[in-house]
Structure formats: structure tokens, C-alpha cells
């Protein structure tokens, strides 16, 4: 396993406020970053905003502010949301920052000097009022602008292009030699069949029809067109091409760093095809993995502001707490497949896993230790068969969890932990502590209590990349001292005897599905 980890989310367009889809991607990346840190792996986690382009320029104009004022306001809202969602990013890159813009200009110059980029003509369907080029598919048979629905005409514009064919053989070789470069692996076929096999055209990397972008030094009437500007954020944020390249050396250049980009299915081809080519052109190593997650819809419809069906994460966090929102996102949707958000699913997921399973186990265990042992966690005695089965399951769970998480299989990693929690709840039913108490079987009763606490603490640590606030609460409730809070303590069995349990409030109250469905529907806009 590599000893350092660099993980990124896409840099989002601050053309509208973040919705649950953006939160989904960012939370998943955050979980992986927190997991690696938990395992003692030096980690750098990057997110940010992609602030140039015609769309942003137009939105600013509509609002009567400068593009910079416009993006400043929305970028601040993104940052605020990530704070509330407890996102642990190490940096937040904005493409309008000088540390990015000057390096992008140099990157362009380098690729141009290398003859990877040439000046040509961009041809397409042009909408004059919108000042936009569209493709055949976008304008359809009637040749109408998909934005304003007015007629478009054929036009051409001088543009710079990146030569994709020059690097295609390198890319194909890399894909062959690294079968886990694109994850889930079925996404590779999609890339091959949709984009590469039909013939990959050169990529347009400049525009002259708008000016909210990074100017090309060699030809200032051009601005660098979106993807060459946006993708390079992953290295400019690390200081590539700057006076201080130490982070870049550590988290990118060093082969001992695992580099993972998390991206939505909508932008996978830019990360899987063009980004590796730019890197090759710059003589840099390629990322280890591009993980393509699915897109979420709301009640079966694509989330879009104009349709009024966008869910903002903020009111959810306010009402249910950050851990419930993080849990729902991480556990409900299969990482890598598209998903459907429904208000019912949200409430049910929180009830099934958090209130009924994890929360219930915590409440029952706390109450029993207070009742049977005056609140002091007892010491383990000789284990019987049922105790040994839980011990074995705990060890197996830790092991599978690590394998899954290292393989970016977050759902599977979380599922093995919820199965352990289920098993612990069943263990209570089977051992019947209330009977053991009545019959005075104190040793057996002590084992059950010690094992339940151990299961709770181990699970809390394994789930801590997702349930960030719960961890603190569980540690407080079971009096877990600093020296027992580390991840490596998981390899000791039941080292918590003598600690005092506090009653605490129920961590995850049960939600009434109908009431919460009404609430979530009322905040979708």
C-alpha cells in the first residue's frame, strides 16, 4: 500500500448554490480522506470552485455585478456548507486565484512550445444572442439554440486545439497496464465505446467570444477554455510551477502517493481521457484512480433549479444533524451507480441503521451496565461459544472493512460494520442478560457487557470517517480515555474494563417517516 494519499473532488461551478448532489460527492471524498488519516496515512484532500467561463460571466451580468463579485459570493457559500458538513479538506482552490491563473498560463505555454497545441478553427452552430457554439445534437434537426430557442447558424472561430491523437497510444497503454485506473471498472468500456472508438477529435482549449477566463500570453484575445483551466487545479493547488513545489513533490510527483480523483459520471471523460494527456504533455505521472460516482435524482427527476426540485443540504443538517445527512449519503447509494433521493428513503435509512441498530445497541448497553454493574464496565472472564463468535466476527469485520475501504468500496465497508452491530443486537437477545442477572451468573453477564462495549467502540471507530460527531459522543458516554481512542486499539479485545458509563441522551431519535417526508418535500425548491 502506498504511504501517502491525495484525493480530490471536482471543482464545482459557482453558477448556483450547492445541492445534495455536490454534497454527495464531497462527503464521499471526505470519508475516504478521513479513513486514510485514521489508518495513519499522510493525506491531502482538495476541493474548490471552477470560476471562469461564459455562463458565469452571463449570470453576473444578469445580477448587475462583476463576475468576480458573483463568484466570491457563491464560493463563500460553498465553503460555508463544507464547514457545516464537517468536510476536512486541506485546501480550497479557486480558479480565479493568482496561484492558479499564472501557472495555467505557463502550462499552456509549455504545451504550445511542445507542439501539443496548435491554432485552428472551431466550427459549429452559433447562436448570436447567446454568443455560444452548439453541437449538431444540441441544436437538433430544427437548428434551434438549446438555451434561448432562437435559430442558430454555422460559424467558425479561431481557437487553439490540443492534439489528442498524439497521446492516445500512451493513454491506452496506461489503461491496459492499470486495470483499476477507471473505477468502477465497467466505466472503462463506456469511455472506450462512446468516446475513443468512434474517433477522438482534438480538444478545443481556447475561446475568443468571451473574456471571463485566463488570457493566453502568446495571444491575449484568447482565453483558455474551461477544461484546460479547470483540470489543472489538481496540480496548481499543490504548488506545481510555483516557488514552493514541496507539496507537489510530496503528493503528486512521488510514486508512493496514491492519487484519486472522485468525479461524477457527467465529467468522467475529461478526467479519464484529456487530463492524463495534459499530464503526459507536461511530463508528469498520471493519477492512480479516477472513481466515477453516479448522479442522484430527486423522486426520479433530474435535479434542476428551474424545475424547482433541488434539495439543499443545509436545512437537512439543521434538522437531523450532520451525521445523519452524511450517513444517508454514504450508505443509501451504491458508490458508482446512479441513485434516487426520496424523502422517505432518508427517514427510513436513518431509522434502520442509526436509530434501530446502532442507537438501540448503545442505549441498551448503557442502561444494562448502569443497572447490573453500577455503571462500571466489567472485566472479561472465560469466553463461551457465543462470546467467541462475536470476537471472531469483530476481527473479521475490521479486516474486511479495511480491504473494502482501501478499494474505495465505501458501501461494502460500511455494510460489514452494520452487520456487526446487528449481530451484537442479536447477541443480546440470545444471551438474555436479564436472565443471567436473575440467575446470578455474574461472570457470563460481565462478558456480555464487556463485549457489547467493545463492539460499540470498535464500530464507532470504523464508522468515524462518516459519523464525525457521534464518535465524540460515544467516547464521552462510555468514558473512553484518550489512550484508548486510537484506531490501533481495535486490535485489543475488550480493553475498556473499569471505565464509567454515563447515561447520555439517545444519539439517534427515531424519525416519523410521514412527518419528515412532508418536511423534506417542503424544502425542495
The residues binding ligand ME8 (CB under 6 A) are 10-13, 21-22, 24-25, 50, 230-231, 233, 263-264, 266-267, 295-296, 303
DSSP state of 173: H
CA distance 323 to 315: 13
β 91-94/117-127 pair status:
unpaired
Cα radius of gyration (the chain): 27
Q: Do residues 35 and 409 lie in contact, with contact meaning Cβ atoms separated by under 8 Å?
A: no
CB of 52 to ligand ME8, least distance (A): 10
Collapsing DSSP to helix, strand or coil, 185 comes out as coil
- CB of residue 372 vs ligand ME8: minimum separation in angstroms? 47
Other CB atoms within 10 A of residue 252 CB: 24
**CA-to-CA dists, residue 433 to 260, 374, 389, 430, 436, angstroms:** 47, 15, 17, 9, 5
To ligand ME8, the closest distance from the beta carbon of 25 in angstroms equals 4
CA distance 24 to 294: 10
CB of 246 to ligand ME8, least distance (A): 23
Quote the CA–CA distance of 16 and 9 in Å, as a whole number: 17
Instruction: Name the DSSP class of 376.
Output: B
- Distance (Å, whole) CA 207 – CA 263: 25
- The crossing angle, in degrees rounded to 10, of helices 67-84 and 54-63 is 100
User: Reduced to 3 states, what is the DSSP secondary structure of residue 144?
Assistant: strand
Closest distance of CB 254 from ligand ME8, Å: 22
DSSP readout, 385-404?
HHHHHHHHHHHHHHHHHHHH
Judged by CB, which is closer to ligand ME8: 70, or 401?
70
Give φ, ψ of 299 to 5 degrees.
50, 35
The residue among 263 and 474 lying less far from ligand ME8, judged by its C-beta, is: 263
Which CB sits closer to ligand ME8, 339 or 465? 339
Toward ligand ME8, which CB reaches closer, 236 or 517? 236
Cell numbers placing 23: 454534497
**Cβ-based nearer residue to ligand ME8, 264 or 336:** 264
CA-based nearest residue to 262, from 82, 46, 429:
46
Nearer to ligand ME8, 284 or 370 (CB): 284
Q: Which three cell numbers stand for residue 58?
A: 452571463
**Cross-strand pairs, 334:** none
Q: Report the residue number, 251 or 372, with the smaller CB distance to ligand ME8.
A: 251
Least distance (Å) between residue 293 CB and ligand ME8: 6
**In terms of CB distance, is 122 or 234 closer to ligand ME8?**
234
Q: In the complex, what is the shortest distance from the CB of residue 260 to ligand ME8, in angstroms, rounded to a whole number?
A: 13
For ligand ME8, the closer CB: 265 or 428: 265
Shortest approach of ligand ME8 to residue 335 CB, angstroms? 11
Minimum CB distance to ligand ME8, residue 295 (Å):
4
**Residue 120 beta carbon to ligand ME8: minimum distance, rounded to whole angstroms:** 24
Cα–Cα distance, 339 to 49 (Å, whole number): 24
Cell of 31: 470519508
| 171 or 329: CB nearest ligand ME8 | 329
Q: Which is nearer to ligand ME8, 235 or 405 (CB)?
A: 235
Distance of closest approach, residue 409 Cβ to ligand ME8, in angstroms = 18
Instruction: List the 4-12 sheet strands across, edge first.
Output: 91-94, 42-49, 4-12, 257-264, 289-293, 182-183
Could you tell me which of 329, 279, 259, 270 has the C-alpha nearest to residue 8? 259
Rank residues 299 and 356 by Cβ distance to ligand ME8 and give the closer one: 299
Residues in the chain: 525
**Distance in angstroms (rounded) separating the CA atoms of residues 400 and 416:** 7
**Least CB distance from residue 100 to ligand ME8, whole Å?**
12
Amino acid at each position: 500500500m502506498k504511504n501517502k494519499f491525495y484525493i480530490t473532488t471536482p471543482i464545482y461551478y459557482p453558477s448556483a448554490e450547492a445541492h445534495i448532489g455536490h454534497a454527495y460527492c464531497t462527503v464521499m471524498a471526505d470519508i475516504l480522506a478521513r479513513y486514510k488519516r485514521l489508518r495513519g496515512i499522510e493525506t491531502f484532500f482538495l476541493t474548490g470552485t471552477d470560476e471562469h467561463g461564459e455562463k458565469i460571466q452571463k449570470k453576473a451580468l444578469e445580477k448587475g455585478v462583476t463576475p468576480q463579485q458573483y463568484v466570491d459570493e457563491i464560493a463563500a457559500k460553498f465553503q460555508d456548507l463544507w464547514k457545516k458538513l464537517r468536510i476536512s479538506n486541506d485546501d480550497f482552490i479557486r480558479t480565479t486565484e493568482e496561484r492558479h491563473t499564472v501557472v495555467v498560463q505557463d502550462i499552456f505555454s509549455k504545451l504550445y512550445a511542445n507542439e501539443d497545441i496548435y491554432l485552428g478553427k472551431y466550427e459549429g452552430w452559433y447562436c448570436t444572442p447567446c454568443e455560444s457554439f452548439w453541437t449538431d445534437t444540441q441544436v437538433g434537426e430544427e437548428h434551434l439554440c438549446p438555451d434561448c430557442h432562437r435559430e442558430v447558424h454555422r460559424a467558425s472561430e479561431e481557437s487553439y486545439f490540443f492534439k489528442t491523437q498524439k497521446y492516445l497510444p500512451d493513454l491506452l497503454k496506461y489503461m491496459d497496464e492499470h486495470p483499476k485506473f477507471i473505477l468502477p471498472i465497467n466505466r472503462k468500456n463506456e469511455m472506450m465505446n462512446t468516446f475513443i472508438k468512434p474517433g477522438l477529435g482534438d480538444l478545443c482549449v481556447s475561446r475568443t467570444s468571451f473574456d471571463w477566463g485566463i488570457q493566453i500570453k502568446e495571444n491575449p484575445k484568447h482565453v483558455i477554455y474551461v477544461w484546460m483551466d479547470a483540470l489543472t487545479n489538481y496540480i496548481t493547488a499543490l504548488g506545481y510551477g510555483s516557488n514552493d513545489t514541496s507539496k507537489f513533490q510530496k503528493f503528486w510527483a512521488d510514486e508512493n502517493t496514491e492519487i484519486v480523483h472522485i468525479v461524477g459520471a457527467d465529467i468522467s471523460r475529461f478526467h479519464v481521457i484529456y487530463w492524463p494527456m495534459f499530464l503526459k504533455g507536461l511530463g508528469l505521472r498520471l493519477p492512480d484512480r479516477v472513481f466515477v460516482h453516479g448522479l442522484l435524482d430527486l423522486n426520479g427527476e433530474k435535479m434542476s433549479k428551474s424545475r424547482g426540485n433541488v434539495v439543499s443540504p443545509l436545512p437537512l443538517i439543521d434538522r437531523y444533524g450532520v451525521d445523519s445527512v452524511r450517513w444517508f449519503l454514504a450508505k443509501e447509494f451504491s458508490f458508482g451507480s446512479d441513485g434516487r433521493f426520496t424523502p422517505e428513503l432518508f427517514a427510513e435509512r436513518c431509522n434502520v441503521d442509526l436509530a434501530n441498530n446502532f442507537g438501540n445497541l448503545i442505549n441498551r448497553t448503557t442502561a444494562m451496565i448502569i443497572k447490573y454493574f453500577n455503571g462500571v464496565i466489567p472485566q472479561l472472564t472465560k469466553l463461551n461459544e457465543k462470546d467467541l463468535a462475536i470476537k471472531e466476527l469483530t476481527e473479521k469485520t475490521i479486516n474486511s472493512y479495511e480491504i473494502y475501504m482501501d478499494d474505495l468500496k465505501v458501501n461494502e465497508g460500511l455494510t460489514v460494520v452494520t452487520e456487526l452491530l446487528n449481530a451484537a443486537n442479536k447477541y443480546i437477545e440470545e444471551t438474555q442478560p436479564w436472565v443471567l442477572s436473575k440467575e446470578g451468573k455474574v461472570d457470563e453477564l460481565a462478558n456480555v457487557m464487556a463485549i457489547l462495549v467493545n463492539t460499540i467502540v470498535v464500530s464507532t471507530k470504523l464508522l468515524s470517517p462518516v459519523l464525525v460527531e457521534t464518535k465524540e459522543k460515544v467516547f464521552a458516554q462510555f468514558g473512553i480515555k484518550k489512550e484508548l481512542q486510537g484506531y490501533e486499539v481495535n486490535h485489543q479485545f475488550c480493553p475498556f474494563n473499569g471505565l464509567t458509563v454515563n447515561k447520555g441522551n439517545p444519539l439517534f431519535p427515531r424519525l416519523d417517516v410521514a412527518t419528515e417526508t412532508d418536511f423534506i418535500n417542503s424544502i425542495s425548491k
